[in-house]
Structure 1
Amino acid sequence: MQPATAHISESRTAGPEGTAATDSRPIDLVHLSKFTMGRRDLEAEILGLFRQQLAVSLDKLAAAADMAGDDKAWKEAAHTLKGSARGVGAWALADATADAELLTSGPDRVAVIAGLDVLVGAATGFIDELLEDWQS
C-alpha cells in the first residue's frame, strides 16, 4: 500500500467545507490527516476506534429499525454514525446515514440497513488493510 497522501483518487467529488472526497476509497485520508496534523499514530488510533464503532452503530440501527414507532432511537443511531463517518472522511457512509436519518418507515429502515452494511464492510476492510500496511 502507498502512503496516505497517495490515496487521492483521480476522480473527485466535492466533500464538505470544500474538502475533496475520493470516489474509490471509503475513507478520505487527506481529510483525516488535516485533523491529525499528519500524525500516522493518531490516524491509526482514530481509524481503529471508528472501526470498532461501526459494528456497534450498525447493531443499534438494526435494533431501532425493529422498534416500530421509535423514531428517536433510529435518528440517534443514524446521527451518531453520520457524525463519526464525517469525522474520518467516510463520505459515502456519511451521506447514506444522513439519508437514513430522515427515514420514518420501518420497512424502509430495514431495507437501508443492507446498503449501510455494504458501506460499513468497505470501510472496515479498508481500515484493516491500511492498518496492517502501516504496521509493516
Structure 2
Amino acid sequence: MQPATAHNSCAPVMAENRPIDLVHLSKFTMGRRDLEAEILGLFRQQLAVSLQKLADLAKQPVDDKAWKEAAHTLKGSARGVGAWALADVTAQAEVLTAPDARLAIISDLDTLVLSATGFIDELLEDWQA
C-alpha cells in the first residue's frame, strides 16, 4: 500500500489528518487493540532511536550507505503503521546526498516524530482508561 500523498490518487484517506492511520493498522491486526497497542509502543520506541541515528549521520562526513539504510528502515516502519506523512518525508530523506540537505530535513522529521509520539501516547493512555 502506498503512502497518502497529494500525488497519489490511490492513497488512503486519513480521518482528521491523524499522524497514524488507525484504519490501516487495524487491517493488519484484525482489529485487535492489544496488538495495535504493542505495535504502536514498539514503533514509538523506534522513532527516537531512528531519528537520533539520522541526526548523528547528518552531522558526519557523508556516509551514503548508512544514511540510506537508516532512512529506509524508518520509512518502512512508518508505512507499516500508517504514518504516511512521516514515511513520505523519510522517503525524501533517503535519497538526499548533500550534508546540508540532510541536516535540514532532520527538523522536518523531528516535527513529524513529535507529532506521532504525542498521538501514540494519547491514544495508548485513552485505551488504558
* TM, length-normalised to structure 2: 0.90
Is residue 42 of structure 1 aligned with residue 46 of structure 2?
Answer: no
Structure 2 residue corresponding to 1:72, chosen from 62, 65, 68: 65
- Which 5+ residue runs of structure 1 have no aligned equivalent? 1-11
Q: How does 1:104-119 map to 2 (within 5 A)?
A: 104-119=97-112
* Farther-moved stretch of structure 1 (67-76 vs 100-109): 67-76
Task: Classify 1:66/1:24 alpha carbon distance in 2 versus 1 (closer, same or farther; 3 Å).
Answer: same
- Give how far 1:21 is off: 3.6
Q: How does 1:58-69 map to 2 (within 5 A)?
A: 58-69=51-62
- Give how far 1:68 is off: 1.3
- Give how far 1:15 is off: 9.9
1:33 counterpart residue number: 26
- Greater length-normalized contact order (CA 8 Å, ≥ 6 residues apart): 2
Is the Cα–Cα contact under 8 Å of residues 28 and 90 in structure 1 kept in the other structure?
A: yes
Task: Classify 1:13/1:101 alpha carbon distance in 2 versus 1 (closer, same or farther; 3 Å).
Answer: closer
Supply the AA of the counterpart residue of 1:135: Q
What is the aligned residue count? Answer: 125
Question: Structure 1 vs Structure 2: percent identity of aligned residues?
Answer: 74
Supply the AA of the counterpart residue of 1:26: P
SS of match in other structure, 1:20: coil
Q: Name the one with the larger strand percent.
A: 1
- Which 5+ residue runs of structure 2 have no aligned equivalent? none
Quick one: distance in 2 between partners of 1:69 and 1:114? 18
